[in-house]
Amino acid sequence: MVAAPRPWERHPVVQARSEAGGAGMPSPSDPPAVLEDVEIELLLEGVYRHYGYDFRNYALSSVRRRLRYLMLSERVRTITGLKEKILHDPEALERLLLGLSINVSAMFRDPTFYRTLRTRVMPLLRTYPFVRIWHAGCSTGEEVYSTAILLHEAGIYDRCRVYATDFNEVVLRQAREGSFPLKQMRAYTENYIAAGGTESFSEYYAVRGDAAIFEPSLGRNIVFAQHNLAMDGSFNEFHLIMCRNVMIYFNPTLQARALGLFRDSLVRLGFLCLGSKETLKGTAQEATLDDFDGAERIYRKVRG
């Protein structure tokens, strides 16, 4: 893989330093965050070489934020202190993996998207004898179960297989259980209705304590598996790929890799769904995938 451009080379402080003819010679008045960026780089490189998890092409601004949180909870004062801890303690690595994945999700997040999926995409999926769907970066599974409900209501669940993947085994374990906090159900019910749902949403789950356990039949055709968009390749051909609000944590290099992977993993006329503020604009796949629903960020592979 081609080495990523080094972001700090374009950092205004570094630029100004080299313009002043003193490249690499830090001045005492330099703000400290540039050093921190170097430390982050070293930490991510170490994690990749020692453990094989590649976060080197995650968006720096969000990695920085996550690592600062982790510094607080790990009670270390510097990123270098964090690096020491993580490289020597596999349990600290587990906490890093959790810390670097943003597991804030919701059922029927962006109801207008799910309404469009229901009204425009489901009728087309119905025309296939068998449908393969990939939820990439599925986190704790809220959106996977939302899709399963749409498939069920479209009457095609039994001829679908949903592959739900995430790099993080901890969140996958949670997702497999199909259990979500009961206190969210009011908001999820509202989302479901806003997304065009007409059934009684509470029929889909059973209440156990403070958890809503979703109908096991909804999970029957879902395969939860580990897959890392930064490192792993294509594993099947899909009619629908959903990867919503996952690539926002990637830098453009990694985003391009993932989008290429999706393009290669779609059947002709297959659909790719992104988050509502994500776009193919300015990426290489702008030319290979067509807008199917511009507002809802649903794209379609029309060629090849």
Residues that bind other proteins (CB under 8 A): 7, 10-13, 15-16, 19-20, 29, 31, 33, 36, 59-62, 64-65, 102, 104, 245, 247-249, 251-252, 255, 275, 277-279, 281-282
Q: Between residues 106 and 124, which has the closer beta carbon with respect to other proteins?
A: 106
Smallest distance, other proteins to C-beta of residue 252, A: 6
Q: Between residues 35 and 124, which has the closer beta carbon with respect to other proteins?
A: 35
Q: What is the 3-state secondary structure (H, E, C) of the chain?
A: CCCCCCHHHHCHHHHHHHHCCCCCCCCCCCCCHHHHHHHHHHHHHHHHHHHCCCCCCECHHHHHHHHHHHHHHHCCCCHHHHHHHHHHCHHHHHHHHHHHCCCCCCCCCCHHHHHHHHHHHHHHHCCCCCEEEEEECCCCCHHHHHHHHHHHHCCCHHHEEEEEEECCHHHHHHHHHCEEEHHHHHHHHHHHHHCCCCCCHHHHEEEECCEEEECHHHHCCEEEEECCCCCCCCCCCEEEEEECCCHHHECHHHHHHHHHHHHHCEEEEEEEEECCCCCCCCCHHHHCCEEEECCCCEEECCCC
Q: Between residues 106 and 267, which has the closer beta carbon with respect to other proteins?
A: 106
Smallest distance, other proteins to C-beta of residue 220, A: 29
Q: Between residues 147 and 255, which has the closer beta carbon with respect to other proteins?
A: 255
**Do the Cβ atoms of 237 and 188 come closer than 8 Å?**
no
Smallest distance, other proteins to C-beta of residue 104, A: 5
Instruction: Give the CA-trace dihedral at 47, 51, 56, 57, to 10 degrees.
Output: -150
Q: Between residues 76 and 248, which has the closer beta carbon with respect to other proteins?
A: 248
Smallest distance, other proteins to C-beta of residue 32, A: 8
Smallest distance, other proteins to C-beta of residue 62, A: 5
Smallest distance, other proteins to C-beta of residue 279, A: 5
Q: Between residues 182 and 256, which has the closer beta carbon with respect to other proteins?
A: 256
Q: Between residues 1 and 20, which has the closer beta carbon with respect to other proteins?
A: 20
Smallest distance, other proteins to C-beta of residue 250, A: 9
